[in-house]
Structure 1
Amino acid sequence: MHTYIIGIDTGGTFTDAVLMERESGRIVAVAKKPTTHHQLADSTGAALAALLQGAGIPLEKIGAVAVSSTLATNSVVENKGARVALLVIGYVRHFKLPVKAVIFVKGGHTIMGEEEEPLELHYLVSLIHGLKDEVDAYGVCAAMSMVNPTHELVTAKAIEMIDPKPVFCSHRVSQTAGMQERAATAGLHAKLMPIMEEYITGVQQAMTARGLSCPMVIISGNAGTISSDRAVELAGMTVASGPACTASFGAEQTTASALIIDIGGTTTDIAMIKDGQPLMATEGCKIGGWRTHVEAIDMSTGGIGGDSHVSMNDKGHLTIGPNRVVPLAMAADLPPIDGWFGKEERSRLIVFRPESKMPAEDRLTTFLRTQGQATPEQIRRATGLSGVTLDRDLENLERLQRTYECGFTPTDALHVLHRIDLGDRTRALAGAAILAREIGMTAEAFCELVLRRTEEQIENLVIDHLVQHYWGNSLTSFIAGRNDHPVLGVNFSLKIPLIGIGAAARYFLPAVASRLATTVSFPQYCEVGNAVGAALICKQTLADQTKPPVV
């Protein structure tokens, strides 16, 4: 009999795994391993191996593996992932979305399903030929395709014949009016399909290597499950997978109302529990610059976490996030910090993965392969690349997992202040001292400033989530600058408690709770809360499947 469920959560920094007893919900074993972005099978396999070794149970008693991932969410927040061309068919007001290109093509149907204008097929074919070397996936959205999807289907077939890459059509998931939201939904699915394909392959390889043959399901953003064979085609449904597990874990902790806040290495996710139940987004989820028709938990995600990149410009202004870097304290084989680290172009070190195989070499990859690692400043001086061109090429290398970046982070600040001891404090201290000198502070005072700014950004994310939930409008710019106004000062307080989960939550949420005049708790297993949430959602799905039909 299948008596256990494994829950896995692949985050930007750590991969967590838990073994849950199906009947009681008791956690039998837990494991946490660093996420290996360039080879997800390695970190998933390491977490599974540690979990199974600690549990010591027969593999045939494991009935399912439920996986959640914030990789999709992170790629949207950091504006990384697949390069998408979004083809919008029909007469509509032009709009922008955070994709490689939004291209408008004549065609579309009326509300009655009749062709409003013939599909501009010759133009479409020339477009695809021009795009095929520039994009990784396509999204297609035609006017009134939920009534008549013919133009979307023809476009998808044309793409398949010319450039066989992932294609997603909006009519497959969105039956609601609203052209921009439907287009965003199609674009989001297309952006995440290659990421989900790689992720599922990695998990399946890890399961096979450990002798696990049970079914695998992916947690969807609406706190349901998707079978692994359908997860790629429904990749956009997983964009709020992590927050759904956050909400599920939080709902187990209270029968009242609370805000559940998951602080990871890359992002902070927020979901609200009302009367012990997660709230659903009434009009589809919004993440980053995407307002979609994807059904999901009512959640917010912001690019702030323990590994957010801390950078400083020439005027001494600090920026934290949204991109993640490997903390100085946690990176391997770094050259002496004093030799390369600083503000602006010296704030991050680009490290070339020695195992990377590039189909074609150019100035940038040749230089990085030869040097192994370099700052953007060093790259600019050696290759002549700079500005938008260099940023684009570096982003492309990171997207392809050819490089990773190191820099100063809130995690480094915690090391300097002796609040954690996971890596090399001397490297973190060296980085803090360099930036601190730029603004006339001690390294310790600078690190206190970094942590305070991180806490402020998390606090602002909480406030904006609640404002949007209750009033439907975002006040991001006002909230972020409210304490800088020369005349007006605004403070907020919460009437419900916070529940913290995630590896970094204990270091930031107590101060956030204090600023918001509320309390915060950290339940048992909160450090692996999303993995627990994944197992809980799977447990509920299996229970629903075995319920006798209502007569």
Structure 2
Amino acid sequence: MGKLVREYVRCYRIGIDTGGTCTDGVLLDDATLEVVHSAKEPTTHHNLGIGVGRVLKKLLASDIAPEDIIGLSVSTTLATNAVVEDRGARVGLLVFGYVRHFKLPITANIFLKGGHKITGEEDEPLDIEGLVDSVHGLKNEVDSYAVCGGMSIKNPTHELVAEEAITMIDPKPVFCSHQVSGHPGMRARAATACLHAKLMPLMISFLSSIKISMLNAGLNCPVTIICGNGKGAGLDTAVRRAAITMASGPAATARFGCTAGEPTALIVDVGGTTTDVCMIRDGHPVLSDEGCRIGQWKTHVEAIDMYTAAGGGDSHVICSSDYDCSLEQGGGCTQRPKIRLEATRVQPLCMAEDIPDPEQWLGCGLRNAVVLPVESLSDEVVSEDEILFCLREHGPANLETLTQQTGLSGILLEKRLERLAYLQQVRMAGFTPTDALHVLGKLDIGSKEQAEHGARALAASLDMSIEALCLQVVAEAEKTIEGIILDYLGRKVWQDVEAAPFLSSMDNELFSLRVAVKVPIIGIGAAARCFLPAVAERLHTTVRFPEHYEVGNAVGAALIDREKDQTDFSL
């Protein structure tokens, strides 16, 4: 009799990373860790599941059967992007028993009597009447609530009473600080609760889209959401505690960075909305001792030691003219163009479809954005909003045109657009560093022709050549990324209060300081190769781009998922 030969069955894991610009995916051989296939699709912000579905379709287009997939893991910058762009649910924060008031960037910060002592004894009776009045005043202005009581980690009674009272008046989600953090620091504990409240609706929508995409692809494998601490969580946990996905993308970034073979290095992920910086030491990601910090939010969310700030390929380019008297000898003033990047992400012109010719609405001194309708909206939703109705009737429009059509203007119009963008009912498009890279021939993921139209309009309004404009936009993006890296390094050497004045005054009218970074940089992200070489040169260090760096976060997500059940974590 011949020998019975057991057929080797290959198993695969899928890693997905949903970023501000692109949704990336990889198909990873579970045994060999080989990246069998990779895919990149534009992120569809109005319905994230569309982009995810397209990536899954590409990954499974060969002879890979859905039943061969043993796990799907997802990392996302959804939470971090929402925070740095000030999007997400409208949150009302109620604080009990804290004398020194603090302010978080949310809809309302209200301070009432109450709270407990460090022994757990009541400090002051809870101001129930003030609580009830506050909730009645907020219920039409907020989408969720966060409550934080003094020493609630010792005695949560006031938070639990408040939760019950709020629910009776306004049945919306309520997040108690003692349930999301066990640390005594009240401001950071309140911020952690607020972030859960702010991000939960976004996470519910995102995870629902993942489920639908899997169903359409015939996948029925376990799903893991990558958390900021480099571990995985199930869908239910990610919904209940949405802020644990803060630094999800950077956690996958750090894991992928470990594959580069550098024992100690800075990992820099240049995305569409943000640049994320973290560090590996002795071949492993460094964890934060105090909780992650995203922009101005300092939290108790367990995460890798990282820093995320607004600034990436899709940052909105705003141009204006000012006067600089130092440019001419003898005290004369010369007009020069001023180019800056806003924190807000917009859809690059090269990635936008069916928009008016940028030369008709783009120019110096304007808001330089066009509002795009979302086609999937129901007739009922559109008919109830004059902005949506105008967009459906007349197509994409800039702010000036919308003012003429609706009568709305100024801050009122901008606030209405912010709300519609949060509800994923409109999209904004404008000129970005990604467009500048297309014009310069350094990137090719969209329409170069449309980017050139935008560059031509801006350059003409600034009396510059197209090339000079685009080079200055790229230089501004490089300067922003360099600043984010130095912010991260400065906070590792000094505390925030010490680092901030030093970093803000490195280049002034009397002297200029230059920094030599002692560790190499590992670049991740499709645009990283376009920006980081010049940044590394200015910082007097080196930069490397490992294989598959363009989809590095998706690889990192798949590796984290695999390691949940492995005892050997080596590559």
CA distances 1:233-260 after superposition (whole Å, capped 9, x unpaired): 1111111100011011111222411000
Selected match of 1:456 from 466, 479, 487: 479
Q: Which runs of 5+ in 1 are unaligned?
A: 547-551
CA distances 1:40-71 after superposition (whole Å, capped 9, x unpaired): 221111111111123x2332332221111001
Asked whether the equivalents of residues 243 and 269 of structure 1 are also in contact (C-alpha less than 8 Å), the reply is: yes
Aligned to 1:331: 352
Worse overlay, 333-342 or 521-530 = 333-342
Q: Secondary structure at the match of 1:102?
A: strand
Q: Does 1:225 align with 2:248?
A: no
Aligned to 2:509: 486
Aligned to 1:320: 341
Asked whether the equivalents of residues 264 and 282 of structure 2 are also in contact (C-alpha less than 8 Å), the reply is: yes
Q: Secondary structure at the match of 2:61?
A: helix
The CA distance in 2 between the partners of 1:306 and 1:155, in whole Å, is 43
Distance apart, 1:476 and its partner CA = 5.2
Distance apart, 1:346 and its partner CA = 4.1
Q: Normalized against structure 2, the TM-score is what? A: 0.91
Q: Secondary structure at the match of 1:317?
A: strand
Distance apart, 1:225 and its partner CA = 0.9
Q: Does 1:293 align with 2:316?
A: no
CA distances 1:342-380 after superposition (whole Å, capped 9, x unpaired): 234341001122332427724434433332222122223
Q: Secondary structure at the match of 2:514?
A: coil
Aligned to 1:361: 384
Worse overlay, 318-327 or 496-505 = 318-327
Selected match of 2:159 from 148, 152, 155: 152
Q: Secondary structure at the match of 2:350?
A: coil
Aligned to 2:332: none
Aligned to 1:415: 438
Aligned to 2:421: 398
Q: Does 1:468 align with 2:515?
A: no
Asked whether the equivalents of residues 2 and 63 of structure 1 are also in contact (C-alpha less than 8 Å), the reply is: no
Asked whether the equivalents of residues 345 and 375 of structure 1 are also in contact (C-alpha less than 8 Å), the reply is: no
Q: Which runs of 5+ in 2 are unaligned?
A: 1-8, 323-336
Q: Secondary structure at the match of 2:377?
A: coil
**Aligned-partner residue type, residue 306 of structure 1:** G
The CA distance in 2 between the partners of 1:258 and 1:9, in whole Å, is 22
The CA distance in 2 between the partners of 1:66 and 1:354, in whole Å, is 29
Asked whether the equivalents of residues 9 and 16 of structure 1 are also in contact (C-alpha less than 8 Å), the reply is: yes
Aligned to 1:87: 94
The CA distance in 2 between the partners of 1:2 and 1:100, in whole Å, is 51
CA distances 1:303-326 after superposition (whole Å, capped 9, x unpaired): 111111101235343221311111
Q: Secondary structure at the match of 1:161?
A: helix
Q: Does 1:284 align with 2:291?
A: yes
Q: Normalized against structure 1, the TM-score is what? A: 0.94
Selected match of 1:176 from 165, 183, 201: 183
Distance apart, 1:153 and its partner CA = 1.6
**Correspondence 1:266-285 to 2 at 5 A:** 266-285=273-292
The CA distance in 2 between the partners of 1:220 and 1:427, in whole Å, is 37
The CA distance in 2 between the partners of 1:337 and 1:156, in whole Å, is 50
Aligned to 2:4: none
CA distances 1:430-451 after superposition (whole Å, capped 9, x unpaired): 2222222343321111110110
Aligned to 2:328: none
Asked whether the equivalents of residues 272 and 312 of structure 2 are also in contact (C-alpha less than 8 Å), the reply is: yes
**Aligned-partner residue type, residue 372 of structure 2:** V
The CA distance in 1 between the partners of 2:475 and 2:428, in whole Å, is 24
The CA distance in 2 between the partners of 1:61 and 1:423, in whole Å, is 33
Aligned to 2:325: none
Asked whether the equivalents of residues 457 and 480 of structure 1 are also in contact (C-alpha less than 8 Å), the reply is: no
* 1:216/1:341 CA distance change after superposition, 3 Å: same
The CA distance in 1 between the partners of 2:370 and 2:501, in whole Å, is 31
Worse overlay, 375-384 or 36-45 = 375-384
Q: Secondary structure at the match of 1:313?
A: strand
**Aligned-partner residue type, residue 466 of structure 1:** L
Aligned to 2:361: 340
The CA distance in 2 between the partners of 1:285 and 1:346, in whole Å, is 33
CA distances 1:468-495 after superposition (whole Å, capped 9, x unpaired): 0121226457546644x22201111111
Sequence identity of aligned pairs in percent? 50
Distance apart, 1:7 and its partner CA = 1.1
The CA distance in 1 between the partners of 2:239 and 2:315, in whole Å, is 28
Aligned to 2:3: none
The CA distance in 2 between the partners of 1:469 and 1:479, in whole Å, is 13
Asked whether the equivalents of residues 309 and 324 of structure 1 are also in contact (C-alpha less than 8 Å), the reply is: yes
Max radius of gyration: which structure?
Answer: 2
The CA distance in 2 between the partners of 1:75 and 1:343, in whole Å, is 28
Selected match of 2:85 from 59, 62, 78: 78
Asked whether the equivalents of residues 2 and 60 of structure 1 are also in contact (C-alpha less than 8 Å), the reply is: no
Aligned to 1:514: 537
* 1:137/1:511 CA distance change after superposition, 3 Å: same
Asked whether the equivalents of residues 220 and 238 of structure 1 are also in contact (C-alpha less than 8 Å), the reply is: yes
Asked whether the equivalents of residues 265 and 307 of structure 1 are also in contact (C-alpha less than 8 Å), the reply is: yes
The CA distance in 1 between the partners of 2:86 and 2:505, in whole Å, is 24
Asked whether the equivalents of residues 74 and 225 of structure 2 are also in contact (C-alpha less than 8 Å), the reply is: yes
Q: Secondary structure at the match of 2:268?
A: strand
Aligned to 1:549: none
* 1:439/1:228 CA distance change after superposition, 3 Å: same
**Aligned-partner residue type, residue 78 of structure 1:** E
The CA distance in 1 between the partners of 2:41 and 2:359, in whole Å, is 30
Worse overlay, 63-72 or 360-369 = 360-369
Selected match of 2:557 from 534, 545, 548: 534
* 1:476/1:111 CA distance change after superposition, 3 Å: closer
**Aligned-partner residue type, residue 325 of structure 1:** V
The CA distance in 1 between the partners of 2:26 and 2:286, in whole Å, is 25
**Aligned-partner residue type, residue 355 of structure 1:** S
Q: Secondary structure at the match of 1:411?
A: helix
The CA distance in 2 between the partners of 1:73 and 1:89, in whole Å, is 28
CA distances 1:373-409 after superposition (whole Å, capped 9, x unpaired): 2212222344332332222111001001110011100
Aligned to 2:22: 14
The CA distance in 2 between the partners of 1:481 and 1:49, in whole Å, is 50
Aligned to 1:525: 548
CA distances 1:165-197 after superposition (whole Å, capped 9, x unpaired): 222111112111111111001101111111111
CA distances 1:494-525 after superposition (whole Å, capped 9, x unpaired): 11111011111111111111111111111111
The CA distance in 2 between the partners of 1:362 and 1:59, in whole Å, is 42
Q: Does 1:375 align with 2:398?
A: yes
Aligned length: 544
**Correspondence 1:54-73 to 2 at 5 A:** 54=62, 56-73=63-80
Aligned to 1:237: 244
The CA distance in 1 between the partners of 2:249 and 2:153, in whole Å, is 29
Distance apart, 1:464 and its partner CA = 1.1
